[in-house]
Amino acid sequence: MTGPGTAPEALPVCAAALCAGAVLWWSAGRDEGMRRARLLLAGGGDVASVAGAVPPWAEEWLNRLRDLWRTRREVICMPIGCVLALLGASLLPLLAAAVAMPLVRRWLRSRRLGRERERREAAVIEICAALAGELRAGRQPGEVLAGLAPPDLGPSWPEVAAAARFGGDVPGALRTVGRQPGAEGLNGVAACWRVAVDGGAGLADGLDRVAGALRAERDQREELYAQLAGTRSTAVMLALLPAFGLLMGSALGASPLRVLLHTPAGLGALAVGGLLECAGLLWTARIVRQAQGTGGEARA
């Protein structure tokens, strides 16, 4: 279907589809919580009736959608591209969505790795504090270390526990785990362990120093992130301004998507605006990286 009435006719259909998907997603996300709440309010009664409220085929598809969202969040680009392609009656939004998917995947991966790094750093600090506290309580370091099982330090941690339990090379095992991003503090724990075993120095004091240094570095990094929050929010706001402009133009009946996607002037403006948008985001990212690098050099 072509013509001036394409976008107004497609808009209700797309809006209804998006609303239905949002409702299904919301109901799927809260299904487990509702079951637990009803079980608690019912005093431990059977919840089979709640589970049967959703058809099996719908529950299976909702589970697949949840798994897809947890593992492949970048696929959200394709539905957005489909909606824009329908509204603008053009294949360009689909092509842009296909190009954006690897970029979004890379961005999501960097965010996930950053969160994992922060969790590992927090786990190392907790290990140092727990070891120091138990040592001051009179327990043996090997016994304490063998009993720790932090889930955020990966599959290599059982080697540390085994070395501590059976008298193996504990510093070497700690250095192996410390090769992971965010777990570098374990190298300091390994050095303290080596000095305490060879020279008889106090292990608890060394662990307290390592934990204090890691906390100070984490606090300084969080303060730097807080200072850069204004720059990040400004960049996000400027990046979303063209989308708000398109929405305002559509609300006024100007059909901006049709102008951008079906006229030479609109295609030129779209290309120039896209290049400027990418340049602004890259420039902002460079400023943030330089600030973080300056903060890292100051800490060193």
Q: What is the pLDDT of residue 21?
A: 53
Q: What is the pLDDT of residue 238?
A: 83
Average of per-residue pLDDT across 206-231: 88
Calculate ∠ Cα 251-255-260, nearest 5°: 130
Please give the DSSP secondary-structure letter assigned to residue 153.
Answer: G
SS3 of residue 60 by DSSP? helix
pLDDT in tens, 113-169: 989 999 999 999 999 998 888 888 888 888 888 888 888 888 888 888 898 888 888
Confidence of residue 228 (pLDDT cuts 50, 70, 90): confident
**Domain limits, the chain:** 117-214
Task: Tell me how far apart the alpha carbons of residues 56 and 52 are, in angstroms, rounded to a whole number.
Answer: 8
Please give the DSSP secondary-structure letter assigned to residue 272.
Answer: H
Confidence of residue 46 (pLDDT cuts 50, 70, 90): very low
255 torsion bin: left (phi>0), alpha (psi -120 to 50), beta (else): left
3-state helix, strand, coil in the chain (%, to 5): 85, 0, 15
In one-letter notation, the amino acid at residue 147 is G
Q: What global pTM score does this model have?
A: 0.68
Residue 144 is encoded by which pair of tokens?
């304490």
